[in-house]
Structure 1
């Protein structure tokens, strides 16, 4: 990725492009094309970002410019029997945690192109802290996750992600202390939604 843009793609986010069985919002255009379009949107929005769950986290909401399908669906009587579980680690260093999902091949007709992309950004300083490395100071924000969804506001992160963050950087989290109120909001949301794993 070029270093003259304020937004860059984190290596953590590469899996959304490279892993054919990624669980969540799978991106089917190249990393270069994605970041070129994203930096254009960022500039056109006057570089205005929305606050995230911590000072180092921001959100950029843009129209879905890459035909990305929604990364989650509502749990209904139709989808409930299709839910699977598996212990999953996002990286080689992380401890596997229990994840639940439905396969895209089984719910394809229910997974439509999303209206918006929620671009989740971490500050350069936070990424340097988590990865124990230095980046070009021209970079202000790294894209750590992309959520394709039908609303232009933040939806609750998965409860296990909140717990992992509270465990600290050594266990793959961000080190942000668990907020009970936010955790219960997350549980309320994810009791009725499930992530889609791509397999088609």
Structure 2
């Protein structure tokens, strides 16, 4: 099985200049090599048949993606309308400023099959393409953000995958994201 970083993931996981809330101490090439050379500790099913998540012990100083919302840090939450790419419509996002997450214990790359990426107009020369990565304390998937679920349901034309909304998964995601938020340096 071969794995490559998609351009979408490369820009988000290894931006230039680097940011404290992205993958640290590792180049894109080193990240790809590691995923191809070392078997994951676990493989988790994704939200659709073309998606899987590989659980790897964190070999970097990368910090967790999310921080629990508490009374002590709630005042540090910020929000804005943002798009992930120039082609996508902006959506409401929120994050912490002035809060630093602990170093993650696990890196969990999110992989899409070559066939799905071709359907989305992102052909790759490998079996699987990394579309994102979770940085977590537990070797478990954190729920997809509700807006990402909605974008996926809207289809490829709107930056999604075309997978219908799962109402139970959406409710679980809302429960998680009401209690947690991403952070930015």
When the two structures are superposed, what TM-score results if normalisation uses the length of structure 2? 0.92
Whether the 8 Å CA contact 1:60–1:119 is kept in 2: the answer is yes
Of residues 31-40 and 82-91 in structure 1, the stretch that sits farther from structure 2 once superposed is: 31-40
Q: Structure 1, residues 83-138: CA drift from partner, whole Å, max 9, x if none? A: 000111001110000000012xx112xx111000111000011111101x5433xx
Judged with a 3 Å threshold, the aligned counterparts in structure 2 of structure 1 residues 134 and 80 are, in CA distance, closer, same or farther, namely closer
Task: Work out the CA distance in 2 between the residues paired with 1:128 and 1:113.
Answer: 34
1:17-49 C-alpha deviation (Å, 9 max, x unpaired): 115476x9501321011111222223x75xx63
Q: Distance in 1 between matches of 2:109 and 2:159?
A: 20
Separation in 1, partners of 2:141, 2:16:
24
How big is each residue's C-alpha offset from its partner over 1:71-91, in whole Å with a ceiling of 9 and x where there is no partner? Answer: 110000111000000111001
1:113 aligns with: 103
Structure 2 contact 120–156 (Cα < 8 Å) conserved: yes
Tell me, in whole angstroms, the C-alpha distance in 2 between the residues paired with 1:100 and 1:193. Answer: 10
Which stretches in structure 1 are left out of the alignment for 5+ residues? none
Rounded Cα–Cα distance in structure 2 between residues aligned with 1:18 and 1:144:
14
1:41 equivalent in structure 2 = 38
Q: How far apart in 2 are the matches of 1:84 and 1:19?
A: 23
Residues 19 and 184 (structure 1 numbering): CA distance in 2 closer, same or farther, change over 3 Å? farther
Is 1:59 matched with 2:53?
yes
Are 2:94 and 1:100 aligned? yes
Cα distance in structure 2, aligned partners of 1:134 and 1:16:
19
* CA distance in 1: counterparts of 2:93 and 2:6, whole angstroms: 23
Per the alignment, residue 163 of structure 2 pairs with 176
Contact residue 116 and residue 148 of structure 1 kept, 8 A: yes
Total equivalences in the alignment: 183
Question: Which of 120, 135, 138 is matched with 1:130 structurally?
Answer: 120
Q: Tell me the distance in 2 between the aligned counterparts of 1:25 and 1:117.
A: 13
Normalised by the length of structure 1, the TM-score is 0.86
- Cα deviation, residue 67, structure 1: 1.6
**Bigger relative contact order, structure 1 or 2, given CA contacts below 8 A and separation 6+?**
1
Q: Does residue 7 of the first structure (1) align with residue 6 of the second (2)?
A: no
Gaps of 5+ in 2: none
